[in-house]
A = this chain, B = another copy of it.
Amino acid sequence: MHNSAKPDSVGLVTPTSYHFDEALTLRSGKVLSGFDLMVETYGELNAERSNAVLICHALSGDHHAAGYHSEEDDKPGWWDSCIGPGKAIDTNKFFVVCLNNLGGCSGSTGPVSINPETGKHYGPDFPVVTVRDWVKSQVMLADRLGIDKWAAVVGGSLGGMQVLRWAISYPERLGHAVCIAAAPKLSAQNIAFNEVARHSIISDPNFHNGHYLEHGTYPKQGLMLARMVGHITYLSDSAMRAKFGTDVSDFGGNFGRDLRSGKLSFGFNVDFQVESYLRYQGERFSENFDANTYLLMTKALDYFDPSVDFDGDLSKAFENSNCKFMLMSFSTDWRFPPERSRELVEHLLDAKRHVSYLEIEADQGHDAFLLPVPRYIRAFSKYMNRIHRELNNHAS
């Protein structure tokens, strides 16, 4: 039996492309005269059109959040651990919508698309998009789908930032904001890691100032390095020790120093399992992702700071919000540690918002939000069930 046939899977899914003719003015001032969004949906929209949940993806995500594209597919969507019948975001209860964001490379308009004005790939000429721009385009998608108000907007990491932007800019259009492993804005260290990633792409001789498609080349090494650096920040030290080590000492435990071939090479190639894993992750990613999109996504992260319109006061930004908030963070996440979520909680309390917050003990670092951590899944499920009960109470 293929995994798509399991009772907790949304099964086989097919994305749909929506074309928008309306012009979209971006935060940079540039205008996209029209664009496409690639979208997947799971579950059924109810008669009141009140049970829709929007999923916002993170840096390297896309519209394919759950299920399988075919029976040959051995990897489900990126958030299959949380979306499906009986799962935290229960598709028996909710109509779930996920899209590839503008600037992406999985079917929505982005650098690999053809620029209708030139007949060539946009490439590096695709405008820098921000979280605000994405949410604007998501509003247009909601209008198209006839969804006046999301039961919830949900996302982790960069996805959580989109959730915050929804709550600030479109207060009447969501009931709940579920924001996981996010931060109110990046710190200097976060930006520094993004800069290393960008610099590795830009300095790859095959990058050609972003015009690699025209040159028939690809900055594979640069993108691979960018992903290797990123990947380290997604995992915790403890997760890496557990994943790559069986060595255990009396004190301090396992260091994750397992060797690939049982002995040291005394050369500059791979000695430790962790090196081999990182290269593999980098290689695989670099074969499936667009370098210009990676640059765009990291800039959107760096630029995100919803307090800028409120003299740097994030509490003020939340004063017009109308939804209830659920925040979750993970103990070993050092990319966006619990402290960053606690900052958000303080601002929300200061703005007199309804906020629930759970800090989850988990070894997996930032990646925990994508994984079936029992405590996390349990809390997430309970909160989503509460949303569903509210919908029913409201309707009855």
**A interface vs B, CB < 8 Å?**
27-30, 124, 127-128, 184-189, 191-193, 195-196, 198-200, 202-203, 205, 210, 221, 224-225, 228-229, 232, 235, 237, 240-241, 243-245, 247, 249-252, 255-257, 264, 266-268, 270-272, 274-275, 278-279, 282, 295, 299, 302-303, 305, 307, 312-315, 334, 339-340, 343, 346-347, 350
A203 in contact with B221 given A266-B28, A299-B268 (CB within 8 Å): yes
A28: B residues at CB distance < 8 A: 266
A313: B residues at CB distance < 8 A: 249-250
Q: Quick check: A192 and B314 within 8 Å, CB to CB?
A: no
A232 in contact with B189 given A225-B199, A268-B299 (CB within 8 Å): yes
Which one of B192, B193, B210, B257 contacts A185 once the chains associate, using CB atoms below 8 Å? B257
A251 in contact with B343 given A268-B295, A278-B192 (CB within 8 Å): yes
A29: B residues at CB distance < 8 A: 266
In the assembled complex, how far is the CB of residue A306 from the closest CB belonging to chain B, in whole angstroms? 12
A247 in contact with B346 given A240-B188, A257-B305 (CB within 8 Å): no
A282: B residues at CB distance < 8 A: 199
Report how far A257 CA is from B192 CA in the complex, Å. 11
Q: Quick check: A240 and B346 within 8 Å, CB to CB?
A: no
Which one of B274, B334, B346 contacts A192 once the chains associate, using CB atoms below 8 Å? B274
Which one of B128, B188, B200 contacts A200 once the chains associate, using CB atoms below 8 Å? B200
In the assembled complex, how far is the CB of residue A294 from the closest CB belonging to chain B, in whole angstroms? 10
| Protomer copies | 2
In the assembled complex, how far is the CB of residue A353 from the closest CB belonging to chain B, in whole angstroms? 14
Q: Quick check: B268 and A184 within 8 Å, CB to CB?
A: no
Q: Which residue of B lies closest to A202 (CB)?
A: B268
In the assembled complex, how far is the CB of residue A359 from the closest CB belonging to chain B, in whole angstroms? 16
Which one of B188, B245, B270 contacts A243 once the chains associate, using CB atoms below 8 Å? B188
Report how far A128 CA is from B347 CA in the complex, Å. 53
Q: Quick check: B275 and A237 within 8 Å, CB to CB?
A: no
Q: Quick check: A228 and B312 within 8 Å, CB to CB?
A: no
Interface hub of A235, A251, A299 (most chain B Cβ within 10 A): A251
Report how far A332 CA is from B195 CA in the complex, Å. 22
Q: Which residue of B lies closest to A128 (CB)?
A: B266
A184: B residues at CB distance < 8 A: 252
Report how far A249 CA is from B343 CA in the complex, Å. 10
Complex A-B: 8 CB contacts under 8 Å: A29-B266, A188-B274, A189-B256, A192-B275, A199-B224, A210-B268, A257-B305, A334-B334
In the assembled complex, how far is the CB of residue A332 from the closest CB belonging to chain B, in whole angstroms? 11
Which one of B196, B245, B271, B340 contacts A302 once the chains associate, using CB atoms below 8 Å? B271
Report how far A252 CA is from B350 CA in the complex, Å. 13
Q: Which residue of B lies closest to A270 (CB)?
A: B195
A264: B residues at CB distance < 8 A: 303
Report how far A326 CA is from B272 CA in the complex, Å. 31
In the assembled complex, how far is the CB of residue A352 from the closest CB belonging to chain B, in whole angstroms? 15
